[in-house]
Amino acid sequence: MNNKKVLTIYDIATELKLSPSTISRALQDHYSIGKKTTEKVKGYAAKHGYKPNGVAASLRNNKTKTIGVIVPWVNRPFISSLISGIELGATESNYNVIISQSHDNYDNEVACATSLFSSRVEGVVVSLSVKTKDFSHFDRFLNSNIPIVFADRWTEEIHADKIMIDNFKAGFTATEHLIQQGCKRIAHLGGLLDQKIYRERQLGYVEALKQNNLPIDERLIIHNLLSAEEGFKSSDILLDMDERPDGIFCANDTVGVSTIQNAKKRGIKVPEELAVIGFNNDPISLIIDPPLSTISHPAKEMGLLAAEQVLKRKEGSESVIRTETIILKTELLARESSIRR
Amino acid sequence: MNNKKVLTIYDIATELKLSPSTISRALQDHYSIGKKTTEKVKGYAAKHGYKPNGVAASLRNNKTKTIGVIVPWVNRPFISSLISGIELGATESNYNVIISQSHDNYDNEVACATSLFSSRVEGVVVSLSVKTKDFSHFDRFLNSNIPIVFADRWTEEIHADKIMIDNFKAGFTATEHLIQQGCKRIAHLGGLLDQKIYRERQLGYVEALKQNNLPIDERLIIHNLLSAEEGFKSSDILLDMDERPDGIFCANDTVGVSTIQNAKKRGIKVPEELAVIGFNNDPISLIIDPPLSTISHPAKEMGLLAAEQVLKRKEGSESVIRTETIILKTELLARESSIRR
DNA sequence: TTGTACGCGTTATCAA
DNA sequence: TTGATAACGCGTACAA
């Protein structure tokens, strides 16, 4: 068993007959240390494989150079891209990223927050668990001046920066697009209304109908967890109706794809008999035949901005805390699944 | 600006007229502390929102309770599931996960290793960058008894645990399946041979041809980065041939899907005129029409096992270092894209 | 230009 | 059952 103790600046100091502080400074190119000494120290360090202990430095500096991330799941297209962006932004400033999953569960989310706080992350990026209604587990960050940035799934109840898209507008745009394509009876497969983003998408849908003098039929609005399975179940209900919809606005692409598959299985023609639009622009939206119209969702940019926002906040030490809300642009990606004319 | 200093055990000690060590022990339910005292301390801590400083504990204990992860990219289906599994396994043992991306770039990979070592992670899970040929940046971990576990993409040059699938066998199985479906002229769209896994898949392909007395035609073997774009380009070459293949074994599903799309665009019938099989069982494989045959790749299990393996290694302190190689089962998922009879 | 001494917050050892 | 003290490795004010 290898019990080689890791080399520290003390060891180097002893060996080089210098003081630890000189070593510490030399390694950081401190101006006060002579060039010769600096080189000698660095040379020795390199040769003997000195590796700084970040933990000790963190404790001393009260800076961990780490950003914490709390997301519902990591293995979803949108979120893995979000994380990729966060990692990118963090790395640019030499920050590390600790990720944790809430599995869309409140208790887990609290545990994640506790753990990240214990790790003394310097900031957190959060995408809320779907049913979180109490937010006091985030107070500890605010109380310690650790910036929180919400990405995508957010809440108004915490005074923190938010990066999001305009879900209302996107829902409106998607629905209006279906109307423009001649749909008269448009359904909505939405997410659980616990989450603001799904409420907003639905409100946009409703508003588009209203503005176009189309009736709002509660039976045409179904909420679920937006998984493929639930997409099938919910589209079953819609497609089984005597008077079935001629257009469906789905709150994500997973459900949009399921809907198309379900329609195809039943011999319902997409888009002629049923126009479908999804949300997110996941890879699958381009694989399904016909390609699924959708709303672009700039996940990676969102992650990048979130990381940058966290780091920017750290700088600030004003007496007034003002929060920023960054709204990223989305685009309607009209593809075959909804284009009728 | 909120300059509230964070509560420490010293503060509690002063307040409660006890010693810091008593506070520390009480908070950990140490047997030597009286029940009354313990409760008093915990009560005070809870009431005043004491939050332990994990950094200090890490320094003192020489244990960070953190696993580092180095992967080429996080936003790919296989890898995001791998990470999900790692996170799961880590959380079970109260470990955190720091992720870093190499972007399939050697220099980045070295930087990731340096950073993780500085963070004093207690173990690392690595999926190698595609072109890494020098592995000395991992030596620091071995020298400090920090376990390395390779997941999926590995090397023989480092004496460490590996979790993988049998790529040779999988390649063999996939190819044999095409042969059984009556294919006579089978191509291979493979990954860069720098990576062992792609070499193995190709070897399996070659062996299957050999065993079935089919000729090996070098022109039918193309290597690329396995992106959708490259999949199109490479399948263009194959489908443009005078004597074009009647079956293609693709080294991932991205390329498999591109191949199907390309064939459909050209009016080539899948699977009748061209049977296609991919690799990984990504979500897209079930979305494309016809559904893409593929090889299952248990990403999440792999991640879970990797985390568990890291934690298991930490325990061991034997004088002999033996490494384990864990091979996960894959399955042939024969779907429409390759079933001809 | 270099060295001394202390503190970051926690825990383990030893003593009381 | 509790307390005093040292130590983890580093960085920095202050002294030399």
Length of chain B: 341
Strand A325-328, strand A294-295: pairing: unpaired
Task: Return the pLDDT at A317.
Answer: 58
- In angstroms, the CA B77 to CA B144 distance is 33
The alpha carbons of chain A give a radius of gyration, in whole angstroms, of 26
- In angstroms, the CA B15 to CA B43 distance is 13
Q: How many CB pairs under 8 A join A and B?
A: 148
Protein CA A60 to sugar C1' D2 (Å): 29
Write the CB contacts of B17 (distance below 8 Å, at least 6 apart in sequence).
none
Q: A57: Cβ under 7 Å from strand D?
A: yes
DSSP secondary structure string, B173-235?
HHHHHHHHTT-SSEEEEEE-TTSHHHHHHHHHHHHHHHHTTPPP-GGGEEEE---HHHHHHHH
In angstroms, the separation between the Cα of residue B291 and the nearest Cα of chain A is 10
- In angstroms, the CA B53 to CA B63 distance is 13
Tell me the three state secondary structure of residue B13.
helix
Packing angle, helices A20-27 and A9-16, rounded to 10: 110
Task: Return the pLDDT at A3.
Answer: 43
Pick the closest to residue B149 from B257, B305, B317, B254 (CA basis). Answer: B305
- In angstroms, the CA B254 to CA B228 distance is 6
The H or E element that residue B317 is part of is: none
List C-alpha distances in Å: B7 to A57, A224, B56, B258: 20, 43, 13, 57
In angstroms, the separation between the Cα of residue A214 and the nearest Cα of chain B is 33
The alpha carbons of chain B give a radius of gyration, in whole angstroms, of 26
The neighbour count for residue B48, using CB atoms within 10 Å, is: 11
Task: Flag residues 10-69 of B with CB < 7 Å from strand D.
Answer: 17-22, 25, 31-38, 56, 59-60, 62
Picking from B2, B58, B284, the nearest residue to A287 by CB comes out as: B284
List C-alpha distances in Å: A163 to A167, A203, A297, A320: 12, 20, 12, 20
Cβ within 8 Å, pair A75-B317: no
Protein CA B143 to sugar C1' D7 (Å): 24
Protein CA A114 to sugar C1' D3 (Å): 30
- In angstroms, the CA A82 to CA A20 distance is 42
Write the CB contacts of A280 (distance below 8 Å, at least 6 apart in sequence).
A77, A78, A252, A253, A294, A295, A297
Tell me the three state secondary structure of residue B46.
helix
- In angstroms, the CA B134 to CA B191 distance is 20
Three-class secondary structure assignment of chain A: CCCCCCCCHHHHHHHHCCCHHHHHHHHCCCCCCCHHHHHHHHHHHHHCCCCCCHHHHHHHHCCCCEEEEEECCCCCHHHHHHHHHHHHHHHHCCCEEEEEECCCCHHHHHHHHHHHHHCCCCEEEECCCCCCCCCHHHHHHHHCCCCEEEECCCCCCCCCEEEEECHHHHHHHHHHHHHHCCCCCEEEEEECCCCHHHHHHHHHHHHHHHHCCCCCCHHHEEEECCCHHHHHHHHHHHHHCCCCCCEEEECCHHHHHHHHHHHHHCCCCCCCCCEEECCECCCHHHHCCCCCEEEECCHHHHHHHHHHHHHHHHHCCCCCCCCCEEEECCCEECCCCCCCC
Protein CA A111 to sugar C1' D1 (Å): 33
Q: Which of A66, A80, A107, A280 to mutate to test the interface with B (most CBs of B within 10 A)?
A: A80
Task: Return the pLDDT at B2.
Answer: 38
Length of chain A: 341
Write the CB contacts of A116 (distance below 8 Å, at least 6 apart in sequence).
A68, A70, A98, A100, A124
The H or E element that residue B93 is part of is: none
Task: Return the pLDDT at B262.
Answer: 97
DSSP secondary structure string, B273-291?
T-EEE-SB--THHHHSSSP
Q: A25: Cβ under 7 Å from strand D?
A: yes
Reading the block at residue B294, the tokens are 């593929």
Task: Return the pLDDT at A205.
Answer: 98
Report, in ranges, which bases of strand C sit under 7 Å from a protein C-beta: 1-5, 7-13
Contact (Cβ atoms closer than 8 angstroms) between residue A276 and residue A84: no
Cβ within 8 Å, pair A74-B84: yes
The H or E element that residue B238 is part of is: helix B228-239
Protein CA B20 to sugar C1' D3 (Å): 9
- DSSP conformational letter for B136: G
Reading the block at residue B6, the tokens are 């964070």
Cα A150 from chain centre: 8
Cβ within 8 Å, pair A144-B66: no
Pick the closest to residue B140 from B161, B115, B162 (CA basis). Answer: B115
Mean per-residue pLDDT pooled into runs of 10, chain B (341 residues): 70 93 94 91 94 96 96 96 98 96 96 97 96 94 93 94 97 98 97 94 98 96 96 97 96 98 96 97 96 97 97 73 91 96 70
Mean per-residue pLDDT pooled into runs of 10, chain A (341 residues): 70 93 94 91 94 96 97 96 98 96 96 97 96 94 94 94 97 98 97 94 98 96 96 97 97 98 96 97 96 97 97 73 91 96 71
User: Which nucleotide is closest, CA of B7 to its C1'?
Assistant: C9
Residue nearest to nucleotide C3 (CA to C1'): A19
Q: State which protein residues have CB closer than 7 Å to strand C.
A: A 17-22, 25, 31-37, 56, 59-60, 62; B 5-6, 8-10, 20-21, 24, 27-28, 52-53, 56-57, 59-61
Write the CB contacts of A288 (distance below 8 Å, at least 6 apart in sequence).
A257, A260, A261, A337, B287, B288, B289
Cβ within 8 Å, pair B98-A100: no
Predicted TM-score (pTM) of the model is 0.94
Pick the closest to residue B276 from B296, B239, B250 (CA basis). Answer: B250
Task: Return the pLDDT at B314.
Answer: 80
- In angstroms, the CA B236 to CA B227 distance is 14
